[in-house]
Amino acid sequence: MLIGCPKEIKNQEYRVGLTPSNVADYIGNGHKVIIEKGAGEGSGFFDKKYK
């Protein structure tokens, strides 16, 4: 399955749909995950953690 996580576009909204540990779990179960650049920054999850 291909799972995507876009960056939030609403003002004052900092949540992200997937944390780095969520992504690791999905990949570990054979799924492919695409995270939009900067998607987790508002929640303290920077792109480097998703890699």
In the numeric block, the tokens 């953690």 are attached to 49
pTM for this prediction: 0.84
| Whole-number pLDDT of residue 28 | 97
Q: What string of pLDDT tens digits covers the 51 residues of the chain? A: 999 999 999 999 999 999 999 999 999 999 999 999 999 999 999 999 998
Handedness of CA 17, 47, 12, 21 (dihedral sign): positive
- The pLDDT assigned to 11 comes to 92
Token duo for residue 14: 């900092």
The whole-angstrom separation of Cα 39 and Cα 1 is 20
Look at residue 4 in the predicted model and tell me its pLDDT: 97
